[in-house]
Amino acid sequence: MKRYTQLVIAGTLLAFVAGCSSEPADEKTGGGGEATPGAVAEVTFFLGARLITGDGSAPIEEATFIVSNGKITAIGAKGELRAPDGAGRVDLEGQTVMPVVVNLHGHAGINNGSTTGSQNYSRESVLADLNRYIYYGVGAVALLGTDSGDIIYGIRDEQREGKGGSARVLTAGQGITVRGGWPVSILGNIPIQVSSEADARQAVAGLAAKKVDFVKIWVDDDMGRVPKMSPAIARAIIDEAKKSSLRVVAHVFYLADAKELVAAGVSGLVHSIRDREVDNALVAEMKEKNVFYTPTLVAHEAKFVYADDPDWLGEQTMREAYPAQLSAYYANAITVNRYKRNADADKFRQQYDIAKRNLKKMADGGVKIGLGTDSGTGGDFPGYFEHREMELMVSAGMSASDVIKAASVVSAEIAGVADLGGLAVGKSGDFFVLNTNPLDDIKNTKDILSMYRNGQEMQRLPLIQNLTMDVPSITDADRAADRAAAVREAQLAAEAKLEHFGKFVLGPSANVRAMPIPTPKGSTSRIVAGPPDRITVGLRASAADLRQFYTAALPRYRWTLQGQCWERTHPISNKTQVLCADTSAANSIVLQISER
């Protein structure tokens, strides 16, 4: 594992807003003071840009707007506003302005590039990710359930006192799951594990005492691998949270669980439903109850996308805040092969397709859609992947305008940071300036020229220039495993051309009483002489698969099915041989041969 400090070409990232002018204003805009790059003006007059307000309305071409003491005080079309006396002036002709976005589902401090877990969590790692978020235009982020101890509350308090320049933070503190449930295997002791309704209520009370912004619960069994929170415990959490005016948001996978949670009063579903398509009843109930939905498509895509050599991997925008070596690791053939060989890869793709269809149906049905990414957990990294999420939301069928609205106005309203909710009179002057128009192509949200907070230009390079990351490396063990997997794949490809009996090809025969008995290739066989003779055939396979093999293979050896057993005539004695199969033991089948 190598540790890299991200170095970025200063000339690229310290570009000031194009056209900052020191010329006096013309007649249409009135008098205005000079704009000196880097200078702080209490009142700034912006002009010339295409303005995307974030409320879904058509953009204002060649807009003019005024930011005074950090707040937007006026917005108009070309020539409608005059610069106040003494105001700074910023000419944004030919560029596009859009509001900062708000991420309703992120994580900070738990992933260091190569591992995810509580061992990485510290004040420094949290602040590093918050800097990455704001660098890419994420003005605020809700951290859902992965904040260990009291570190995050200190950071949040400092921000509310006006200290710090990173993304504004909201937190659910430690999320709640059942004992041994998801995601304990990844996060260790960070999640609060409960085993009863009483435990659940006590956990909520503890979180309420810390004044969390949300309560996060995990309702997922990792495709049947771990215990899942029961509806009774989830209802207890929601009920207890309401006593403290706290909103509960849920990690979900199954449609049935989503329905239970919405009926119980959950405030938001913060992952896509992925086991099946949603029905009209759930859509209608979510709309009626104002339950919000964040699809986190990028998190679901990240489970398989690196097998596909994505064209965005390693692009300049990504490498600005993440080292090129990180992209190289994910593009390495050994990493790509690992993703391709994942036994669940096909399931992940199917789940992702269902997630996209469900987002489209939710959006068309009037459900409140927000931006959520699950970034910061590995495979999708803070800041850059919020832009990827917007791309995927458009690819799912939402319009670029609606996606920007979801990511700004709607998400800010849900998060309770309404001053960041779009660009309108009374809102904060927090926005980024783009070289190109995201309404033409949503990918253009990444084409950031500069950023403003409270109407003042931010210097972006200092946010990320000293950040470090443990980039994973390809080890000798990885190379050996890849070679072994390649050999196995070649063997399977060769076997695929052979005749199969059920799922298996024939292996060496076991000989009993001068009779060959078929066995699957790769199995073991142990013969114990009788009478009756017993052959134990071992193979990591289900009882059904082994029985299917013998049902198909034994007739080739002149055995005829008679009821639940097989019979044949012995070639020498001419007596009837009876073969019965016992599949009660795991990963084996016992063949018992008797004579009559």
pLDDT tens digit sequence for 427-453: 999 999 999 999 999 999 999 999 999
Question: Are 313 and 284 spatial neighbours (Cβ–Cβ below 8 Å)?
Answer: no
Q: How would residue 231 be classed by pLDDT, with cut points 50, 70 and 90?
A: very high
3-state SS class at 213: coil
Q: How would residue 417 be classed by pLDDT, with cut points 50, 70 and 90?
A: very high
pLDDT at position 331, please? 96
Q: Where are the alpha helices (DSSP H) in 136-196?
A: 151-160, 184-187
Nearest Cα neighbor of 90 from 32, 28, 31 is 32
pLDDT at position 336, please? 97
Question: Are 87 and 34 spatial neighbours (Cβ–Cβ below 8 Å)?
Answer: no
Q: Where are the strands (E) in 430-564, listed by range?
A: 431-434, 448-453, 456-457, 468-471, 510-512, 515-517, 524-528, 533-538, 560-562
- Find the mean pLDDT for residues 408-424: 95
Question: Are 435 and 443 spatial neighbours (Cβ–Cβ below 8 Å)?
Answer: no
The whole-angstrom distance between residue 112's C-alpha and the CA centroid of its chain comes to 16
CATH fold, domain 99-478, is TIM Barrel (3.20.20)
* Mean pLDDT, the chain, integer: 91
Residue range 297-322, pLDDT digits in tens: 999 999 999 999 999 998 999 999 99
Cα within 13 Å of Cα(363), Cβ side: 25
- Find the mean pLDDT for residues 38-48: 78
Break the chain into its structural domains and give their ranges. 99-478, 499-595
Residue range 347-396, pLDDT digits in tens: 999 999 999 999 999 999 999 999 999 999 989 999 999 999 999 999 99
Whether the per-residue pLDDT at 481 is higher than 60: the answer is yes
pLDDT at position 6, please? 45
pLDDT at position 280, please? 98
Q: Where are the strands (E) in 256-372, listed by range?
A: 268-269, 292-293
DSSP 406: I
Report the distance separating Cα 433 and Cα 449, nearest Å. 5
Return the H-helix or E-strand segment holding 568.
strand 565-569
Report the distance separating Cα 559 and Cα 568, nearest Å. 5
Phi, psi of 577, rounded to the nearest 5 degrees? -100, 135
Among 254-268, 357-371, 486-500, where is mean pLDDT lowest?
A: 486-500
For residue 573, the tally of other CB atoms under 10 A from its CB is: 11
Which residues make Cβ contacts (< 8 Å) with residue 222, sequence separation at least 6?
A: 182, 183, 185
Question: Are 370 and 141 spatial neighbours (Cβ–Cβ below 8 Å)?
Answer: no
- Find the mean pLDDT for residues 475-492: 94
Among 24-28, 75-79, 483-487, where is mean pLDDT lowest?
A: 24-28
Q: How would residue 7 be classed by pLDDT, with cut points 50, 70 and 90?
A: very low
Question: Are 380 and 302 spatial neighbours (Cβ–Cβ below 8 Å)?
Answer: yes
Question: Are 300 and 272 spatial neighbours (Cβ–Cβ below 8 Å)?
Answer: yes
Which residues make Cβ contacts (< 8 Å) with residue 455, sequence separation at least 6?
A: 44, 67, 68, 70, 71, 72, 429
Q: Which long-range contacts (CB under 8 A, 24 or more apart) does 34-43 make?
A: 34/88, 34/89, 35/88, 35/89, 35/90, 35/91, 36/88, 37/457, 38/457, 38/459, 39/88, 40/456, 41/87, 41/88, 41/456, 42/68, 42/69, 43/67, 43/68, 43/69, 43/84, 43/86, 43/87, 43/88
Report the distance separating Cα 103 and Cα 99, nearest Å. 13
pLDDT at position 83, please? 93
Tokens at 218, concatenated: 């995990």
Sheet with 101-106, edge to edge strand ranges: 101-106, 138-143, 168-171
Q: How far is CA 452 from CA 445, 448, 560, in A?
A: 15, 11, 81
Whether the per-residue pLDDT at 473 is higher than 80: the answer is yes
Report the distance separating Cα 110 and Cα 112, nearest Å. 7
Report the distance separating Cα 106 and Cα 170, nearest Å. 10
Tokens at 470, concatenated: 């443990």
pLDDT at position 72, please? 97
Whether the per-residue pLDDT at 31 is higher than 80: the answer is no
Whether the per-residue pLDDT at 33 is higher than 80: the answer is no
